[in-house]
Amino acid sequence: MAKKQIGIDALFQSSVPVADPTRRAVEAGDPDVAEPSGLEIQVTHLRPGRHQPRVTFDAASLRELTESIRVHGVLQPILVRRSSDGDGFFEIIAGERRWRAAQAAGLETVPARVVEIDDVNVRTVAMVENLQREDLNVLEEAEGYLDLLSDKISLDPDLSIYRDAERPHVGAIRLLRALNNRLAGNSKDDAVLRLEPLVAEVFHRVGRITWQSFVSHRLPLLSLPDELLDALRAGQITYSKARAIARLTPERLGGDEQRARSLRVELIERAKSGGLSVRALQSEVLKLIGDPEAGPEHVTERSSTTVESVRSFQRRGTSMLDVRFNDLIDRLETTNADNYGPARRTEIAAAIDALLRVL
């Protein structure tokens, strides 16, 4: 069986043709371009997409891409649609980073594919494109999924009870928690069960994780302190480091909220400079909160090793279990070994070692 594909073309089905190798430069509002096609568009006639889940662009990485494009050009077309404003411009669906680099490299035109697509599908395509390139940080990914689910809620009458016009993400989170509580047996709301296929469809279209995995391993990060969310959104620290620093709560520091925040900010700065690994951060935090139960370093270290092994196994293209693998990676990356007793930690470490031998 072939490996499941979640490529962008699959979302358009037959509506997106292969780019025509014979391209021409297109002016804004060119009346001759009415159908989806492959062509060259002037960079000044493109604008960033309104539904782009990615909000940060690493400066160093962008400089590297700029140099590559200066030498080799843009090798993969940018996916665009005509602007809904009717001004003849094009809105970028996928490829904003390439467009920015092309401008910096001094290119006048870039290869593009023009498609017809509605706002809801634009979000899905942008999510898939960025996730395939691993361009989204964990917070952008979480917010991107909530955007997709919020769109579904706003359009589907069956989900209208969860609409929140002013705070769309709040409605999406309420729906996810209601489903999770019912399936866990913590509520008797049977009506919410019939909505599960609608929610599952949103996550299935992206094809990376299930909604259950999202609730367990992505939603919690949205409750992190603001300074950690800001660092995550800017791509300055990893989720693993943020979780380690987040243990510095007022409750663990004698109720001193100001001190807790000050210590978190200090560790964020040290982590941003690359001077502290996840394990070093965990040790620093344990010292600060005076935890007598020193961290189970073996479980943490083996979890990180297993994540790399699973990703390597996926890259070899031999797996037909992409969603299960991504769920496993999420669980390993969010495992806090300090939450388990010695016996349970030993059991987890043994299971991880067994999986490593298989991989």
Same domain, 287 and 249: yes
Q: Cα 338–237–55 angle (5° rounding)?
A: 130
310 has a pLDDT exceeding 80: no
Which segment, 165-179, 293-307, 331-345, is predicted with the most confidence on average?
165-179
Residue 311's domain spans which residues?
A: 296-359
- Name which of 7, 10, 74, 9 is nearest 46 in CA terms: 74
The CATH number of whichever domain residue 12 belongs to comes to 3.90.1530.30
Which of 60, 88, 118 marks a domain boundary? 118
Same domain, 330 and 343: yes
Same domain, 208 and 289: no
Share of the chain above pLDDT 70, in %: 69
Cross-strand bridge partners of residue 110: 41
pLDDT band of residue 22 (cuts 50, 70, 90) is: very low
Is 22 inside a domain boundary? yes
Which segment, 120-124, 226-230, 352-356, is predicted with the most confidence on average?
226-230
Note the pLDDT of residue 304: 52
CB 261 within 8 A of CB 303: no
Is 124 inside a domain boundary? no
Same domain, 90 and 192: no
Neighbouring C-beta atoms of residue 240, cutoff 10 Å:
21
- Residue of 27, 64, 91, 96 marked active site: 96
Is 3 inside a domain boundary? no
Q: For 142-193, write each residue's pLDDT tens digit.
A: 888 998 899 899 989 999 999 998 899 999 999 999 999 999 888 888 889 9
DSSP string spanning 293-306? S---HHHHHHHHHH
Same domain, 58 and 145: no
Is 272 inside a domain boundary? yes
Task: Report the SS3 class of residue 98.
Answer: helix
pTM: 0.62
Same domain, 301 and 290: no
Residue type, 348: I
219 has a pLDDT exceeding 50: yes
Same domain, 16 and 96: yes
Report the pLDDT averaged over residues 212-229: 91
Same domain, 99 and 44: yes
Q: For 77-131, write each residue's pLDDT tens digit.
A: 888 988 877 777 898 888 888 999 999 999 999 999 888 888 778 878 877 777 7
Which of 85, 118, 151 marks a domain boundary? 118
Same domain, 19 and 75: yes
Number of domains comprising the chain: 4
The question of whether 96 is a catalytic residue gets the answer yes
Is 27 inside a domain boundary? yes
Report the pLDDT averaged over residues 316-340: 57
Same domain, 112 and 15: yes
Q: For 180-203, write each residue's pLDDT tens digit.
A: 999 988 888 888 999 999 999 999
Which of 88, 118, 148 marks a domain boundary? 118
Is 54 inside a domain boundary? yes
